[in-house]
Amino acid sequence: MNVKTMAQYAAEGKEPEILFWVGCAGSFDDRAQKVTRAFTEILNAAGIEFAILGNEEQCTGDPARRAGNEFLFQMTALQNIETLNMYKVQKIVTACPHCFNTLKNEYPALGGNYDLVHHTQLLQELIDGGRIKLTEGGTFKGKRITYHDSCYLGRINGVYEAPRATLEALDGQLVEMKRSKQNGLCCGAGGAQMWKEDEPGDKRINIERSEEALATGASIIAVNCPFCLTMMSDGVKAKEKQEEVMVLDLSELVVQNLAR
């Protein structure tokens, strides 16, 4: 794939339009890697000059801070800020709401001030600005799609409309779950819950949320976060609906409808 690193741009004496922060899931998780590839394909189709940090990118430190290890968070964050500031990075896009929230709201206190965009916001910008064209009556025309608001993009950062506007551009039929937007329910992985064992209870959160999604009768569950992607996929499998219902990131939906 045609992806250059910040180091390569610096060697050429150039600066890219935007830095794509891939994140741990987007780099190492097999399923999330597909989202990274899809989003990269869209950036290339839009003619955007972008770069990644490659091996210089570390975890933002979000899971460490959520789990209570403030020392590890600050150590990781300061290393990242040093790297970002060395390259004079100004604008960052990421497909992970956890990375988005941490870089946007928590790095400034440590000296890292950047213009953050979530990939769903950039997708809407590219569609509205005509930088990418979608095929008329594409793959998802008329299909029922439900959208899961991730906590870190939705309630914490108030981004509700950009993902929905992107879905509307696909000509699908958006059906909301009974709990959506400000009242959305977590997939069960936020706040470092992804990394710990279940606590005692009657039902896993992702099962509860997947049931709400399936109750809409949608054939596609659209998500914007690698954690949500894992949890909702697991929930759909647990209900044995994986043959009928697809769980896809918004960039995967868009890339299938790109006019090439």
pLDDT of 159: 93
What pTM value is reported for the model? 0.93
Domains in the chain: ranges and CATH = 4-123 (3.40.50.1860), 135-256 (3.40.50)
Residue 171's pLDDT is: 81
Cα-based torsion angle of the residue sequence 252, 146, 167, 259 in order, rounded to the nearest 10 degrees: 40
pLDDT, position 95: 97
Cβ atoms of 18 and 93 closer than 8 Å: yes
Q: For 33-58, write each residue's pLDDT tens digit.
A: 999 999 999 999 999 999 999 999 99
Residue bearing the bigger pLDDT, 2 or 69: 69
pLDDT number for residue 137: 67
On average, the pLDDT of the chain sits at 93
Complete DSSP assignment for 8-70: HHHHTT---SEEEE-HHHHHH-HHHHHHHHHHHHHHHHTT--EEE-GGG----SHHHHHTT-H
The neighbour count for residue 115, using CB atoms within 10 Å, is 11
The pLDDT tens digits for 74-119 are 999 999 999 999 999 999 999 999 999 999 999 999 999 999 999 9
